[in-house]
Amino acid sequence: MHFHSSLSLFITSLLLSEPMLSLAASVLAQDLPSAISFPSVPSGEIVGSDPTVSRAAPPQERAQERAPEDRPSLSNVASPDTSDEGSTSSLPIIFDAEGALTRRADTSGDLPTPFDTSISNNFTSKSCPNFFKQFLADSAFTECYALSCLLRDSNSFFYTLRSAPATSHLLDLACAADSNKCSNKMSELASSLIKDSNCGKDYRLGNPVVTDAYTDFITYMPVYRATCLTSPTTNDYCFVDAVTNTTNPADYNVYSVAFGSTLSSAPYPTCNACLQATMRVFATYAKVADQPLASSYLPSAQGINSKCGSGFVDANVTVGVEKAVSAGLRLKPSGPLFGSVLTVFVVALFGLF
């Protein structure tokens, strides 16, 4: 998976060097899908020692009542229901998504937005940039605070990462969003994006902005669930811990696996509970044929186990067996380049050069 130009520009500003990589887009565009679907995940329910207990209070009330130290930790993570190996329609929620909204001491600055530097005139028709402008202004999209659309395709997001409180605040908002409504919105956008009346021609030509957007939309749920996990050690988001870990910047690389990059060689993330829980989320979505995880999960699981020990994460997942798209499109990302650049970026971000 290539690493988008927005991040390249940001690293350039940090390291005073030329952009580190160019985009290589390869898209098989035949029998374009007319609809995208996601595994259904119930919102706002914790699965812990008693899976029948849920929090019925409105999210705003829970946000006022909860202190940061009360945030659910990985002890609440439950394995996917494997009673029916062919279905992910009844996955347990692994964190209290709506209850995660808490006030932060430092939330200054504007919230990051996706595609904040990459929308240009490099389109074959006016309909495509117009489509981007419309969905970027749609509150049904913006109120999801979709991390899947920020991780690769937002220059402002990488400035947010300079501040742990600002990053935590963004995740509070993202994790409090209604994941069912947001996943439906992302499904709608993915389907609409590749219509000829919008960006279909650019998609088939491999326009990186368009193919990135498509992948961002279809990876919303795995990224949502993974980035909303919290650490039993720090009681903060695993994602925030990864971003701020200057001892091992490779912790951040695990999130690139959702986009199709692999962790098949060193440097590897830290062998901890956050890594295990993140890969457990990814294992569930690796079963879906049109998820990038269908190609990236197993090599990454095998690589992690070579570092952390056999069985540390599940490397016996049957990938790509569930059909989420109505036709045969496959996005085939490249190998570990995305993760390697992430490592350089995180090191640079925290001033270790």
What pLDDT score was predicted for residue 118?
A: 65
What pLDDT score was predicted for residue 117?
A: 82
Encoded tokens for 59: 């999210």
Give residue-wise pLDDT tens across range 84-105.
333 333 233 333 333 333 333 3
Spatial CB neighbours of 49, under 8 Å, sequence gap ≥ 6: none
Interatomic CA distance for residues 12 and 216, integer angstroms: 24
Q: 10 Å Cβ neighbour count for 35?
A: 12
In Å, how far are 13, 44, 46 from 78, measured between CA atoms?
42, 14, 9
Phi and psi angles of residue 60, each rounded to the nearest 5 degrees, phi first = -65, -40
Burial (0-12, 13-18, 19+ Cβ within 10 Å), 216: buried
Residue-by-residue DSSP string for 62-106: HHHH--GGGS--GGG------SSTT--TTPPP-S-SGGG----S-
Q: Contact at 8 Å (CB) between 228 and 97?
A: yes
Instruction: Kindly state the helix (H) or strand (E) to which residue 189 belongs, with its residue range.
Output: helix 179-193
What pLDDT score was predicted for residue 323?
A: 73
- Statement: the pTM of the whole predicted model exceeds 0.75: no
Q: Over its length of 353 residues, how does the chain's per-residue pLDDT go in tens digits?
A: 444 444 443 433 443 333 333 333 333 333 323 223 333 333 322 222 222 222 233 333 323 333 333 333 443 333 333 333 333 332 333 333 333 333 333 344 489 999 998 677 689 989 999 999 999 999 999 999 999 999 999 999 999 999 999 999 999 999 999 999 999 999 999 999 999 999 999 999 999 999 999 999 999 999 999 999 999 889 999 999 999 999 999 999 999 999 999 999 999 999 999 999 999 999 999 999 999 999 999 999 999 999 999 999 999 999 998 876 432 333 333 333 333 334 434 444 444 33
